[in-house]
Every structure is written in structure tokens, then in C-alpha cells.
Structure 1
Amino acid sequence: MTLKDLLAPYGSFPALPVRGLALDSRRVEPGFLFFALPGVPLPHRKPLDGHDFALEAVQRGAVAVVGERPLALPVPYLQVEDGRQVLAEVAARFHGHPERALVLLGVTGSKGKSTTAALLHHLLQGSGLRAALLSTVGWRFGEEEAPGVGHFTTPEAPEVYGFLARARDLGLTHAVLEVSSHALALKRVEGLGYRVGVFVNFYPDDHLDFHGTAEAYFRAKALLLERSEKRVVNRALLKALPPGPYLTFGEGGEVFATRLEETPRGLAFTLHTPWGEGRARLPLLGAYNLENALAAVGAGLLLGLPLEGLLEGLATFPGLPGRMEVVREEPFRVVIDFAHTGKSLEAALLTLRKTAEGRLLLVVGAAGERDVNRRTEIAKVAARLADLSFFTEEDHRTEPLEAILEAMAEAARKEGGRFVLVPDRREAIRKALEAARPGDTVLLAGKGHERTLERGSLALPWNEKEEALRALAELGL
């Protein structure tokens, strides 16, 4: 692909070969087209601006640059009004419009996106369809696992279109995408149309540091439905959505459950749908996963999959790494979960309390450079619902860890909770496991599936499950 071909809609450019696209100057290689885009403004930090790194990109081998303000560069430069829009268009063109060769299914929502997307992918695969999955916890091409890109739920447009191109080239027919509100607002998935769009739920107090208001946050998520031929939505969201044909799930919806049973090994319930009903089993902890199951089943039904196969698929779902993942059951239970907000932590602790024989111990922190209310909410929930909490680091980034922990401690003291401060996460995990007694449950919350721990400007390798297993081995357990 040449620069002339890629930028033809915007002007006349030389036929220079283009080997790749990049927004980060550090990822530029010889022959790349660099997009100099302004950073995303957030209340807690001044954003970087790609325009300031354009010359560095050229020095690294960029053959041309696209940006939004005047620049004087020794390579062709295209100034546009909306760089992200152009980025998505160019990414689609660079990869040969792979979205046209695939049936796309999109999943959004405040909570449960990853589980719903992974479950939907599992149901497609179990029904004989060859499907790809793009989600927070990683990528899959059929049954082949692949690591995700970056720290985002949904990566930038070049990576999204690259993912779809690989799925197409492997001969897959369907792709399930976990689509965040950030991705929709920042046009990371611009140009994609979905056969089925799924809106799992909505919590208005999430991501206000980025969206500003709950209304803007909801509008961003609802964009997914506008771009979908068929729509599966939580019945509770109907009042906030424009009139239209929807398949609803949940209480009062068309896809719903009765006779729910929670066990230490998962959920059992009777599934009711317009296509029939049946007894279902789902090997996931937490009644909140019922919502995810109903959403995924609804999407499968709209796609034309038989109910009997979907019921079978629910029963064989292996779950997600780092999402209520049971690492050890004896002599005490050790569980890893991604819960990193007050609401998600509350759901996790309440779920575990139902089947906990002894005490509930918790290792948790709060991310730096994020909404400061999040850390106090996490601490309050921990104080109310855990018998003993170990407050520790969780991606404090350039914000002082001591300040985060002190804010958590102050909030927990007001609630009368029992806690200790252990700044080093590895040490906190070991101390929690050391304190556990037979029958107790230890929840390691906040990191889940993530593979880095951010300290200052460093992103250190991290694997929560390996850390837990190592500590258990060192303790002779």
C-alpha cells in the first residue's frame, strides 16, 4: 500500500510505500505513517500531544505525518480537522477493509463486557462457527489465544482493523468485539457496523473523569446500537433509548431466568426465551453473571443459533482468567478478580460471602491518576464487607502511593473496618495468605488478568495468579 493510495481522498501524495501506521512515536519504524494526534484531556493530568513528537517519528523513519495543526516537516504532511476520523478511515483502507468480510458482534456496558463477549465467542464456536474475539483479557482466533495490545479495553483503530484483518486471513467468519465507551467516543471503532449489538448494563457514575457527565457516557455507549442491525439490551435501559426494535433481557424482558441457584461451582437457572426454555448451568461464581449469560444468549438467538446448542454452550464455558478465578480451594480458597471499583468489589465480596465457610480476607488497592472517589469507595466497601483487608498498590503510576493508601485508610477508619497497609503488592499477597486459616477465603482484587503493574513511569511485568501460587508454595501450601 502506498501513501498515494492511503491518502487519496484527502489530497495528492507521492507513491511512497507505507509499511504500518502508528500514533506513538516510539512504535514508528522505517516506512510508517505517523498520526500526530492531541492527547485525551483528563482532570488529573496534562495530556501528551502527538504533534510534539512528529519530528521524532520522522527521525525514526516515518515517511509522512498526519496531524491537526500546522507543522513544518521534511516529509509529506497532511493537516486535517479530525485526525481520529482519518486514522480510522486510513486503517480500514490499509488493511483492505476486513470488516466487510466478517459478521461483527459488538458488546458494550459498564460491567460484564469481557465476560459477555467471551461467553458469546464460546457460544459461536460451540455452534460450529469460526469466530475471533477482541476483549480486555486478550484476543482469540478460533481457539487460538493471542495477547491483546496495550492497556485499553478496545485498542486504537490500526490495531482493531489489524485484528479483523488477521481474522479474515485465517478464514474466520465472525468476530466478537468488546467495545468500550472510550473506543466509541475516540473513534477507535469508527467505520464498523455490527450484525448484533449488545448493551449489557449501565452505571452512571463510571468514567466521568473522561466523559464529564452520565448523559455523555450513555450517549457514547448507545452509539454501538445505532451501528447495529439487531440489538440486545437490558430491559432496564429501554426508557433511556430511542424507540426501536430490541430484544430485551433481564427482569421484565423477553429473555429472562427463574429458579436461580448459586453454588460454590456456579449458577443454575431456568432460561426463558421467545424461542423456548430450558434448564441452564453456568460454571461462574456470582449471580451478576446471570445478566451476562442472558445477554450472550440473546445475541446468539438473534444470530439464528439453536437454543439447545446455547444451553450446552453455557454449561461448558471455561470462564475468564482473572475474573472470579479460583486459584486454590484447600486449605482455604484463593480467588483472583479484576474488581477495581467500589461497585464491582462489592459484587465480588457479596458473592464470595455466600459460599465462604470462614473469614473473608481481601488484598486490594486503587489506581493512581484516576477518579479520586474510586479509592475511597473501594476502601468503604472493603471495610464493610471484608473481615480483614490488606491495602496495597494497584497501578499508582506517577501519583504518590502513600497518598492513595492514606486516603483508603481514612475512609476505612470511618467505616470501622479492619485493615493493614502493605505498599508492596507481592508482600501484601503473601501476608494475606499467611494470615488465612482453613475455611477462609482470600480475594486478590484489582489486577485480575493484567500483565503489568504500573509504578511511576514503569510498567513492570506482573501475573497475579503466578504471584499467588508462588506465595502459596513458599508458605508450603
Structure 2
Amino acid sequence: MKLSKICEKIKYECLQGSMDAEVRDIIYDSRKIAKETMFVCMVGAVTDGHKYIPDAVEKGASVIVVERDEEAAQIPGTITVLKVESARYALALMSAALFDYPAEKLITIGLTGTKGKTTTTYMIKNVLEAAGKKVGLIGTIGAMIGDEKIPSKNTTPESYELHRMFASMVEAGCEYAVMEVSSQGLKMDRTAGIMFDYGVFTNLSPDHIGPNEHASFEEYLECKSMLFRQCKIGILNADDEHSEAVAANHTCEIHSFGVEDNNEKTFLGKPLDLVAADLGFIKENGKLGMYFHVKGCMDCEARVHIPGRFSVYNSLVTMLVCHLAGISDQAILDGLNKVQVKGRVEMLPVSKDYYLIIDYAHNEVSTRSVLTTLMEYHPKRLICVYGGGGNRSKLRRYDMGEVTGEMADLCVLTCDNPRDEEIRDINNDIKVGLAKSNGKYIEIDDRKEAIAYCMVNAQPGDMIVLLGKGHEDYQEIRGVKYHFDEREAVAEILEEIKEGKRVRMV
């Protein structure tokens, strides 16, 4: 593609060379530079791309994009040099052009907020697919394009990767792209130039504040608010105290949702579009969930088999987005009733007598949240199976031990991803926290055996929650990743019980 076409939507100064230069690809990682590529010198918190200009020259880059005039002095005249104000912003717009603006060929749905993004993106994806739509997804767990799964380092990938993923979705026949839009992604211009069809705000609480993230809560909030100057339709949680601040200076059409209380709610002077009322807890046949009535743009009874009050808010987002996108109410309700999100309070149907849940929680805050949710269902016993990550903070282990010891009836300490540490050393750290709350525990190093112990000893009404692995399908031990999927382990244990190799004790 000609350089002039790639640069058609950015402001630049051509310091030397020709805009007729041919560009095969855009590179921002110096290790990937090749002949006839454009190298973009991005300035980050850790490194400055300008220091890799000699590499770009040596490897045959045809174009180099800089932020400083003086950098051009070291570049031969045979190479085209462009100067831009922000290389990150330019990368986003040039990447969109290189892939022929794929986001414009999709219905794009972007979600921002502190909690609930991952779960809600999967809920929206599942409901749309149940309605017969083909959907791509990008987020914390990685990207999904059709049946293909692509790992990702960031919740919101760098702009080049983002547009490459969008292009793959278009090629695969996707109609929709649902993605998590992190505050860092917005701050670092990874989504610059994209006009989302729908932008969603879930909630906001202090997080990601510190070195290399956000200088203050105010900056964190401001970054979240950027989405509502970058979408056509904005959908916000009216029950969150920060929603009006997030919506300030919006340029989009606004819709809102919330849970009914005794007051007539409004948001920015307008009635809420969708309100949930008469919330109740589902606890039947080994399944947990919520039921509720919705009124507003939809008027119906809804059920979701994801436990906890927060799942009502995630359901409201899903229902409002899909309703505005033209999906029928019945298709939305049918899809919602079947939705499960891998590794996020994921129910495994193992027995009518007890409950088995998989969750990714691996720190004090997320663990307290999931255990508080499960305690609302009044289990006979709450049993936690977990370990801790090796080569990670001991403080996290102490905190995990303390919160599980305080809230669970029994903790079964086992293997997670020990990495370069010994399982027993990690669990000894967890026991420091358990001692603070006098928590009852046993130790079974083999994770499958730990799960089996709980399953064969489960009493009617017990809830067994497997913490820490979630969507992961491996265990990392001494630098090697071994396949391990808790769902497969549970299925094997059930088969072994059926064959009489393991005996249920209750």
C-alpha cells in the first residue's frame, strides 16, 4: 500500500523522502522490522522507540515515523521520514487504513468499567450467537474469532493488533465485535479513531492507580469517559455514583439501566431505559442464578444461571445492548437463560445434591467478592479449593488465606501455578493468613485429587468453589506448562465415581 493512503487520516510532516513509498506492513516492535516496512517510534514508560532507529535502517525499513525532528539526522536520505505529534495516535489511524478500516464493517460494542467487563462481553456474545449472529470478541481472556482463540497480552490490544483482529473477524464473516475497552487502552490511544456503535459503562471503583497506570482516580475516571466521545450510542449504569461524571462531555446518544428501589430514577434528566425489579435467587438442581422482572423498553421475566446480584447488572447491559441492536426480546431471554461464562462463577452441573463452581479469583478482593456472592445462597458448607501463584507476592497469599479462612468452612490447599517455587512453600504462606482467621484446612498437592476429595465427600447443600484457574487450561511448573483443565478433571472424576473407582462417602 502507498504511504500516502496509509497516512490519509493523520496529521504529519514529511521531513524527507516520498509519500509514494510502498509499505508492506507497519511495525512498532524493532525485532520485527523487515524490508519495505514502516517503523513507528513509540515512546513508552519503559523504552523509547527512537533508540531503535539504527536497527530500522539496517533491516531495510522504507519509512520511519518519529516524534522529534532531530531524530531524522541519523536516517539516510533514501528512507522516508514522517514527523507526527503522537506516534501512538498515528499508529492507530494508520493501522486502520492498512487493514482497510475493518471496524467500520462490523457492529462494534465496547465495554469499559472496573468490574464486569469480561463476563458481560461473553454474555453479549452468547446472546447474539443464540440469535444466529456471528460474533468476534476481544478482552482479558484473549480474542475469539469464530472458533479460533488468540492470546493477548493486554485487555485492549495495541491498535495494530486490534485492527488486524477486526480484519480477521470481517474475513471470517463476523457481523459483531464485542470488546473490553480498558482505561489504559483509551489513555494509550489503542482505540483512537474507532467510532464504536455502542459504548457501555458498567461501574467504577479505585483501581489501576499507580506508576505506569493512572496518576489519580480523577485521571482514571476521565480515561473511562473518553469512550462516550467515541461511540454513537452510550449505555450507562445509572446506579453507579460516578456515571454522571463519566457521561460528562459525551457526544453520543445516551441510554441507561439500573435496579429498582423505592424512588423513581432518572439519569441526566431522563427515565431509565431498562429497570430490574423483584430480584430473586435461583437454587435448583445443582444450579445457581438470579431471576428478576424488567420494565422499560422491555417488559418481561428474565432468568440467568450466573449467581449473584452483580449478574443482574450484567444481564441488564446485555439485554439493553441486544434490544437496541434489534434482537427480539424472546431471543434475548432464551440466550440469557443459557449463558455461561468460562471461569467467571462458572457452574458445573455435577449433582442435584451439591454445587461446583469454577472462578478465576486469585486475590483477596476478587475472592471476597465471589464468596460473598455464594454465601447469599446459604450453602450448608462453603469449601474452597485453591493454591497460589509461584514467583508472586507473599502478601497475596497471606490475604487469600485470611479471607478464605474467615468465610469458608473448609479450605483445601493445592497446586495452582507454582512456577519456580515449591507447592508446600506457597501453601505455608497461605497458612499464615489462615491462622489469622482460624480457618480449617487440609492439604492435597495434586489438584485433581484435591477436587476429587471434595466431590466424594460433598454433603447435600455444599458449595465447592475451585479458585484461581478459571479459564486457564494449564499448570506452570518449573518453566513448563502442563495441560490441566478443571472441567476435564471434574468429568474424569465423575466417570471414576460411576465406574466405582472412587466411592462417594455421603
After TM superposition, the score normalised by the length of structure 2 is 0.77
Spell out, residue by residue over 1:281-312, the C-alpha distance to the aligned partner (whole angstroms, 9 max, x if none): 21223332121111111222333433333212
Q: State the distance in 2 between where 1:29 and 1:393 align.
A: 40
**What's 2:350 paired with?**
329
**What's 1:298 paired with?**
320
Note the C-alpha offset of 1:92.
1.0
Kept in 2: contact 1:185–1:220 (CA 8 A):
yes
**What's 2:119 paired with?**
115
Q: State the distance in 2 between where 1:104 and 1:32 align.
A: 29
Note the C-alpha offset of 1:100.
2.4
Note the C-alpha offset of 1:139.
3.4
**What's 2:386 paired with?**
363
Note the C-alpha offset of 1:123.
2.7
- How much identity, in percent, do the aligned residues show? 25
The one of 436, 439, 443 equivalent to 1:414 is 436
> RMSD across aligned C-alpha pairs, in angstroms?
3.8
The one of 290, 303, 309 equivalent to 1:281 is 303
**What's 2:468 paired with?**
446
1:402–1:360 distance in 2 versus 1, CA, 3 Å: closer
Higher-Rg member (1/2)? 2
Q: What pairs up with 1:8-407 in 2 under 5 angstroms?
A: 9-10=11-12, 11=14, 13-14=17-18, 15-28=20-33, 30-40=35-45, 47-56=46-55, 62-68=61-67, 70=71, 72-73=74-75, 75-141=79-145, 144-206=146-208, 208=210, 210-237=213-240, 238-242=243-247, 245-252=254-261, 254=272, 255-263=275-283, 264-317=286-339, 319-327=340-348, 329=350, 334-353=356-375, 354=377, 356-365=379-388, 377-386=399-408, 387-390=410-413
User: Is there any run of 5+ residues in structure 2 with no aligned partner, and where?
Assistant: 266-271
Letter in 1 for 2:388: G
Note the C-alpha offset of 1:258.
1.6
Spell out, residue by residue over 1:50-105, the C-alpha distance to the aligned partner (whole angstroms, 9 max, x if none): 44555456656644443445373565444544221111011111111122223221
1:328–1:27 distance in 2 versus 1, CA, 3 Å: farther
Spell out, residue by residue over 1:143-199, the C-alpha distance to the aligned partner (whole angstroms, 9 max, x if none): x22213422212110111112223334444332222112211111111111222111
Report the 3-state secondary structure (helix = DSSP H, G, I; strand = E; otherwise coil) of the residue aligned with 1:365.
coil
Kept in 1: contact 2:143–2:152 (CA 8 A):
no
Of residues 50-59 and 218-227 in structure 1, the stretch that sits farther from structure 2 once superposed is: 50-59
1:174–1:80 distance in 2 versus 1, CA, 3 Å: same
Q: State the distance in 1 between where 2:26 and 2:423 align.
A: 36
Letter in 1 for 2:152: G
1:223–1:328 distance in 2 versus 1, CA, 3 Å: same
Q: State the distance in 1 between where 2:488 and 2:56 align.
A: 38
User: Is there any run of 5+ residues in structure 1 with no aligned partner, and where?
Assistant: 41-46
Kept in 1: contact 2:387–2:468 (CA 8 A):
yes
Spell out, residue by residue over 1:327-377, the C-alpha distance to the aligned partner (whole angstroms, 9 max, x if none): 57269755322223433212222344436454502214358678x875554
Report the 3-state secondary structure (helix = DSSP H, G, I; strand = E; otherwise coil) of the residue aligned with 1:291.
helix
Q: State the distance in 2 between where 1:406 and 1:67 align.
A: 51
Q: State the distance in 2 between where 1:125 and 1:169 align.
A: 17
1:172–1:392 distance in 2 versus 1, CA, 3 Å: closer
Q: State the distance in 2 between where 1:88 and 1:449 align.
A: 30
Kept in 1: contact 2:290–2:307 (CA 8 A):
no
1:67–1:265 distance in 2 versus 1, CA, 3 Å: farther
Note the C-alpha offset of 1:4.
4.5
Report the 3-state secondary structure (helix = DSSP H, G, I; strand = E; otherwise coil) of the residue aligned with 1:133.
strand
Spell out, residue by residue over 1:207-258, the C-alpha distance to the aligned partner (whole angstroms, 9 max, x if none): 5452132222222222212322222211223343446743222345632132
Report the 3-state secondary structure (helix = DSSP H, G, I; strand = E; otherwise coil) of the residue aligned with 1:236.
coil
Kept in 2: contact 1:392–1:421 (CA 8 A):
no
Kept in 2: contact 1:124–1:130 (CA 8 A):
yes
**What's 1:465 paired with?**
486
Note the C-alpha offset of 1:19.
2.9
Q: State the distance in 1 between where 2:193 and 2:472 align.
A: 29
Letter in 2 for 1:212: A
Letter in 2 for 1:432: A
Kept in 2: contact 1:275–1:307 (CA 8 A):
no
1:378–1:19 distance in 2 versus 1, CA, 3 Å: farther
Report the 3-state secondary structure (helix = DSSP H, G, I; strand = E; otherwise coil) of the residue aligned with 1:343.
helix
Note the C-alpha offset of 1:7.
4.2
